[in-house]
Structures are given as C-alpha cells and as structure tokens.
Structure 1
C-alpha cells in the first residue's frame, strides 16, 4: 500500500474524548450547524424594522463569540501539541490542501464576500434596473463599504504575506547547523560501537534533540497564534463593515462553505480509505 493510502487510513475523526480538541471540534461543528440554521431563518424572517435589526445584531454577536471560543480552545490545545494542531487528524486531506498555517487563509474572507456579493447582485439585478427597493444584502454593498473592504483586504494580505515569509524562514531551520550536527551524531550512535566515530552519551544526545525540537515548536506556537489572531481579526473587521443583515448573509456563507468542504473532504477520505483497504 502506498504512503498516501496509509495517510488516508489514519485521518479519521477520532472518537470524542472529553478535554481533547478533537472532541471539542466535533461539538463545535454541530454548534456551527445550529448557528447556520438560525442565521438562515433570521435572514428569511428579517422585516427591516429596528427590532428585527437588533435581533440580527445579537445573533451576529453570538456567532462571533462562538468563533472566539473556537480560537481560545485551539490556542490552549496548541500549547500542549502545536504539531498536532498544524496537521490535525480530524481534518480532511481536502482541507489540508487549501489551508494555511493551521487554518483558513485570512484573505479567503474577501474572496467569499465578493463571491456572495456578486451572486446576490445578479439575483437582484432586474429589481435594481427597475429602481426597486434596496435589497439590504451583500448585493447592495455601498461605495463606502466597498472602499473599507478594499482597504482591509490590502492590510490583511500584507500581514498574511509577512506570516507566510516568517513560516517559510522557520521551516528552513530544519536544516540549520544544530539540526545537521545532531542528525550526524544520532546516526553515528545507531552504528556498531566499533565503527562509530563519536563517543557521546546517548542520553545526552536525546536531551539535546528534545531541547532543539522544543525551541522550534515554541516558534511554531508563536506563528500559529499570530495566524489565528489574523483570522479572527479579519472576520470581525469584515463583519463590522457590514450591516447586521449583510453580516448574517456573510457568516451564513462562511459556515456553509466550511461545513460542506469538511463534509466533502471527509467523504472523499473515507472513499479513498475503502479503495486502499480493498486492494
């Protein structure tokens, strides 16, 4: 069986274990599904009244709070296992292929916003041509809103690129002098004593390896924290630019995309696993 098929077989969603992020993630997915249905219902029932707008604002605040909870728990879990959080077994191969530094790329928020805005604008184009009432959804973004979104996108892309470069620079340290020297010593220790060219205590080498890897993991924690912070800040700032009903439409699209891509990816992994297992 190929390496890729072995990897597929290992990437099932672990059983929900209290205290584990895998268990929390499954619970959070269900919570996101409930939020999605609540937002869809709220959008359909929106009556363009002050009371309805206040209700939408509360709903948006609740959804944002759920995202903040997700990143708090993720940050706590990364302190104990940053490598696992960067390559989690509860995420599909499809998601891995499109994710960036342990999660969605922050600039994806703008592509999502523009995609939904364009789609909704097309849906209401005939109404607009007839000078009908303003729709109030993402197809009705004002010039001021579009300008703010554009400014925010430029700021976000700049930070994203800086973090990408930081991650790339850190990844290169896997071949720095300390790692090269340790790999040489560790390799020599695996040889027959009479053939080995080094005379060091294996325990001492193991301690050096642990210390070196630990220092690299600390930097990974820092980069992941910055990436998650940028993700959360981007989401909140986009929502702040939008009206409550527009924010509901945007967050609905974000939840739908996340849930469906996760579902499609897990289904694909199960199919690949079944095929590989049958061979």
Structure 2
C-alpha cells in the first residue's frame, strides 16, 4: 500500500478521472441506443433481423464498456480501495444509496419491473383513448410491456439468485467492518499515549483490510456486470436496448439530481430564530 499525502491525492484524481470517463461514455451511448431503437421501430417489417443484429451488437458493446470499467476500477482499487466505498466525486445522495462501491445488482430487476409496468400502463391508456399512432398489431417483444411468461419466470429465478449473492457479500463486508475494532488495531489505539501516532502493526492491519475491500469491490463489480449480461440475454434485442437505455438515463439523472440538491442545500441559509421548516421559534 502506498503512503498517503500527495501520492494518495494522485490516486484519487486518477480514480475520479476514470469515473468521469465512464459517465461521458454512458452519455455518448444514449443517442446511439435511441437511434438504433427508433430505426428498428420505424422499419418494423422491412429488415427486422438485420436491425436486431445491430441492437445485439450495440448491447454487447455496452456490456463490454461496463466490464472494461470494472476492470479499471479493480486495478485502481488495489492502490486505494477506500475511495470507492464513499467516492468524493459522488453526490451525498448517491453515496447514501451506494452498495459495495456501486448500485445493487438487484436494482436492475426493479428497473425491469418498473419499465414493464409503466409501458403497459401507457399502452393500455393509448388503447382506451384510441390515441393516433397506437398499433395493436405490433410484433412481440417490442417493449418491456411485452415480456412473456417464460421471460418473467427466468427473470424471477435470476432475481432470487442475485439477492442471495448480495446477502453473502454484505456479510463479508460486515465482517471486515467489525475487524476494525479487532486486534491489533483496538489494543494499539488504547495503549497509545497520543491518538493517531504512526504504528507499523496498525498500518499492516489496515493495509490488509484495504486489500480485502479491493477484492470485495472487484467481486461486487463482477456480479453487477454478470447480472446485467444475464438480464439482457433473457430479453429480446429491442427490450435489451430499452432496458440499457433506461439504466443509463437513470444513472446520469441520479447524479444530476444529486448535484442540484447538493447545490440547493449549500445555498440554503438558516437565519437565527427560524428552524429548517421555515417556522419562527417561540
């Protein structure tokens, strides 16, 4: 483990730069997905097979992007893994929702269910109101509202399996957190005359813990990538692209919403005699 100070700062800068590159790549993929989906839907009966092949190629490229990003994080986390568990480049809102350095893989399923429900509601509304442009003769798999019983069953089985994997990993990180109050860290802290004095035994123990946290981060990222890939395998090409588009928009939106809320919070001035709710104190 490298020492702190300027070296630690440089590591954090590289990690943050890696994150911003990933966010920029996600932004670039959104118009690609939109264009491919629009072309597929407007040429429903023309060359659907060719369009589906293009969608599959694009979704696999996006999953590859995620896998490459996870690999970069794994390399950088072995230099300093703590930064990824509460990233300074995240907003407080994002860090409040973070699990093992990222999102919960099980949240991918909640996104599928949410999209399935919302798209079904839109199509039913269109049908009941006879909105212009509604086409009840569209081919199956045109959206997540068209999930078949077989697809839903496969997604449910995978969902249960992933939740079980998450629980196992949560127990591992809980054990690591408990180790922070274990020997030799606790005994050295108690015995030291001055708090925070350099100690070789403590440094070695913390280095060992950082390494274990780095391994857990890599394990969690692998679970995230594998879960994403398996969900896309269950979906049709157009459903998979729809799902990935929604996921990217959600990720980018959460960051922007968190940024806005953080700025609003910093600008909020509480005057004397007024509580946060805006009511005068008696």
Q: Taking structure 1 as the reference length, what is the TM-score of the superposition?
A: 0.82
Measure the CA separation in 2 of the matches of 1:262 and 1:164: 24
1:34 to 15, 21, 28: 28
2-side partners of 1:17 and 1:74: how far apart?
A: 12
Post-superposition CA distance 1:69-94 (Å, at most 9, x none)? 21111111101110111111111111
The answer for unaligned runs of 5 or more in structure 1 is 1-15, 191-201
Query: Whose helix proportion is higher, 1 or 2?
Result: 1
Shift of 1:243: 1.0
4+ residue runs of structure 1 moved beyond 4 angstroms? 16-19, 126-131
**Cα distance change on mapping 1:157 and 1:108 into 2, 3 Å:** same
Confirm whether residue 185 of structure 1 aligns to residue 179 of structure 2: no
Measured in 2, the distance between the counterparts of 1:119 and 1:183 equals 54
Give the match for residue 252 of structure 2.
Answer: 259
Q: Which of the numbers 97, 121, 143 marks the counterpart of 1:137?
A: 143
Instruction: Please tell me the root mean square deviation across aligned C-alpha atoms, in Å.
Output: 2.6
Cα contact 1:117–1:138 (8 A) shared by 2:
yes
Match for residue 17 of structure 2? 23
2:277 aligned partner? none
Aligned partners of 1:242, 1:54: CA distance in 2, in Å?
14
Checking the alignment, whether the CA contact within 8 Å between 1:53 and 1:244 is kept in structure 2 is yes
Distance in 2 between residues matched to 1:114 and 1:59, nearest whole Å: 23
Give the C-alpha shift of residue 163 in structure 1. Answer: 0.7
Which region of structure 1 is more displaced relative to structure 2, 129-138 or 248-257? 129-138
- How many residue pairs align between the two structures? 250
Quote the residue 1:210 is aligned against. Answer: 203
Cα distance change of structure 1 residues 189 and 21 upon mapping to structure 2, 3 Å threshold? closer
Q: What displacement does 1:160 show?
A: 0.4
Residue 105 of structure 1 corresponds to 104
Matched, 1:54 2:22: no
Whole-Å separation in 2 of the counterparts to 1:103 and 1:18: 17
Which blocks of at least 5 consecutive residues in structure 2 are unaligned? 1-9, 129-134, 273-282
Find the aligned partners of 1:179 and 1:18 in 2 and give their Cα distance: 25
* Residue of 201, 219, 231 corresponding to 2:212: 219
TM-score normalised per structure 2: 0.82
* Separation in 2, partners of 1:274, 1:74: 33
Closer, same or farther: CA 162–274 of 1 in aligned 2, 3 Å: same
